[in-house]
Amino acid sequence: MTGIWHDEGNGLVALPAQPYANEQALHSSIERAPAMLPLPGQPRLVILGREVQLGNGYADLVAVDADSGRPVVIEVKLAANSDRRTVFAQVLGYASYIYRLSATAFEELLEPHVTVRGHATVADAVAAEVGDGSFDIETFRNGMTEEFEKGNARCVVVLDAAPTVLIELAGYLQTVTNDRLDIDLVTVMAYDVRGSQVLVPQLVEPERALAASVSPSRMRREAKPTSGSASFRDSIDSADPSHRELLRQLCDWAERLQSDGLATLFTTVGKGRWILNPRLPGQSRGMFMIWNDGGAYVSPQRTVIQAEAPNTLARLDERLPGQIGQNNYLKCDISDEVLALLRSAYEESANRKNA
């Protein structure tokens, strides 16, 4: 049984689930952290808009898969809402509407929503959210165009509790739909633990027929980040000899961050390029990325630095005016002094967490 169990000394007792105040509370939680949804394939979802009009209805949340460009509709219903029985009819209606859109039409539809979030385009919104070397804007745009040309979409139904009738309906739809439409059912239960709300998401997997084999188009998607720095370090020998010393210096710097508990390293391998991302512990984002891409480069992530290490950002702007942007390359010499300053950002972030 999924849930939270409390040790009361003489045995373990299951904590009772707590009702949500309203659907908007669960909407907001998913909007802030879509990564909580335990979906097959672990897609990196980026929320683009809330209450988005799709035909005659309004989808609770519209997102996009950062790796494939596939549109994703998320519909939230609580057990107390009698409309939950019709939730699959709702999402199928939204999928039908998206099926008729082109990527350009989707961009136009979402433009006011991404603008409110401070971005000019869907791709810009994804770039700002992902913030690591696995994202390439042109690759994403091409992928999104292909997804819309094929009529692909994903629908995620989120409930606080899933009655048997909806589980059976989800299983049926998952069996009869093809790989153009993914349908997922997720429950997110809330618990009160010492005065704090704790959310427990669970993917509901009904009994159903074996799915068709993964389509070649899915297999061709770009590799996702892998843990560690080994593949990045191995790639240094293939770099131009004039760049190898700096690449090794940067790799050593990143590995020291990890050994000191300031970062967790991930490497992304693309077409002739390797990106080392020292992610903040427990997060999927880092403040600086190291590129082996025809040279040795350091790419700052200003929005992350601003959120995690504002004091260091002020020092960086003073020391490197105009260089701490979003996904650009530093143009200065990467000296020991500069690396020490970059490390300070990770130290400040850690100190803020421990304060």
pLDDT of residue 28: 92
Residue 133: predicted pLDDT: 67
Contacts of 292 (CB under 8 A, 6+ apart): 232, 235, 236, 239, 243, 247, 273, 274, 275, 276
Look at residue 155 in the predicted model and tell me its pLDDT.
96
Are 136 and 123 contacting, i.e. CB atoms less than 8 angstroms apart? Answer: no
- pLDDT for 268-296, tens place per residue? 887 778 999 999 998 888 999 999 988 89
pLDDT at 220: 41
The string over 143-177, giving b where at least 16 C-beta atoms fall within 10 Å of a residue's C-beta and e elsewhere, is bbeebbeeebbbbbbbbbebeeebbebbbebbeee
In which residue ranges of the chain is pLDDT below 70?
1-2, 132-134, 207-224
User: What is the CB neighbour count within 10 angstroms for residue 220?
Assistant: 8
pLDDT of residue 222: 46
Query: Tell me: the pLDDT tens digits for 157-174?
Result: 999 888 888 888 888 888
pTM score: 0.60
Q: What is the pLDDT of residue 167?
A: 87
Beta carbons within 8 Å of 153's beta carbon, 6+ residues apart? 70, 71, 72, 73, 95, 98, 99, 147, 180, 181, 182
Q: Is the dihedral of CA 146, 152, 157, 163 positive or negative?
A: negative
Residue 326 is predicted with a pLDDT of 75
Residues in the chain: 355
**Token representation of residue 10:** 């003489």
Name the token pair of 278: 């020292």
Rg over CA atoms, the chain: 22
298 and 330 Cβ atoms separated by less than 8 Å:
yes
Residue ranges of domains in the chain? 12-219, 226-350
